[in-house]
Structure 1
Amino acid sequence: MKNLSTFGKSMVMALGIAGLGTASMMTVQASTKSQGSEAMAAVQSKVSFEQALNIAQKTVKGDIVSAEFDQNDYSAGGKYEVKVIANNTEYEIDIDADSGKVLKTKQEKLDNKDIAEYKAMKQAKVNLNQAMQTAARSVGGTVFEAEFDNDDGQSVYEIKVAKGNQTHKVMIDAMTGKVISTRLDNDD
């Protein structure tokens, strides 16, 4: 840079800054596309979200506390990860999204925090299935992730809904069944 004029140095700096800005925008776009592609893969899988929940319930009799679609390295296919609680034990059941085959089941005893959250879910007036239906209706899309959460003493269901190539995060009050908030989700 020693032999460049002041104008030349300014141009090099401006192009460098422009390049960084472009790279940042491309990263955001790639993140949004991968989020959208995961939602699309979930919607297009041979086994629906509801079917995966039924398979999990047949595998372990208990209460479903969360379920999500996981696209393997953002390629074709994927699996559902469903968490079921029975007898103070959490079971994580992985289900192939193309065949419906149970890939693995692992279990873990609940700790005191998990037991407290589970008790809060059991006291909710709205169950996970009702919350998923409300979220799907509110956005006009297909649910591909759902979980109960008890943050700051408020019991809610966090539901992700695919609509087109967008993902909407819908918060449902677990006591009233009302939609608390809906927003586009670009977190993944």
Structure 2
Amino acid sequence: MKKTLLYSMLVTGAFLFGCSSAPQTTNPSTTQTETPITSQNPNSTNISGAQVTITEEQAKEIALKEVGSGNVIEFSYDMDDIIPNYDITIVNGTTEYEFEISAVDGSILKRSSEQNPLITNEVKIDEAKVKEIINNQVNGTIVGIKLDRDDYLPVYDVTVVDGTYKYEFEVSAMDGSILSKDQELINQASNINTNQGLNIDQTKAKEIALGQVNSGVIGEFSLDYERGIPVYEITVYEGRTEYEFEISGIDGSIISRSVDTNLD
């Protein structure tokens, strides 16, 4: 009886030892992870103070190349994320694409697409034609023109100023019809020479602002009138630093400048 019991204990011990020594296996299905599209450039991991090297136009080219063709209907610069990036929306046919493009190395950080049969994307009117249409409506200077959408219909948002008024137009990108027009009297003071015209266009104003920093990107841009004087208000981001400029639309002089180096 004792021999039988001892034999059973030896067999059981050997079995348990063999099980504990066997290599452990896992179910491959439980270890799968979803990997987002990330930059392959090792320099892009230098997140803090990463230098912006990709311009707005380059970012648009990268996104358009991915979809083959289409129209950029939304575009913005975002420096609040860990990696500064451009947010771009493109419509091609009935498909809407959204991209996040790294402003550091041009890599695609995120991409998504959505089918929407309500989207109408027949852009038949280019910017040159829009300018011609607007110039026939008002004798002024076009200071802003942007392709946008309104209820999925492509429209141009156009801003025009003359010596007295600022005009906002919405022009259909399909047939050139004027969808809306707003007219605002420019605030003028009697002691200011209100005949001073807008001599600096938006491209030149942006160049002046960017020329004040080593390497930056335009984050916000607008034209306003202060006591009858046209003034460009421009925000430039360089790494984690924000610059704000007020630039005269008359002679391009810098009216004011501020720097914020403590952005969160």
Q: Normalised by the size of structure 1, how large is the TM-score?
A: 0.46
Q: Give the structure with the higher percent helix.
A: 1
Bigger relative contact order, structure 1 or 2 (CA pairs below 8 A, ≥6 apart): 1
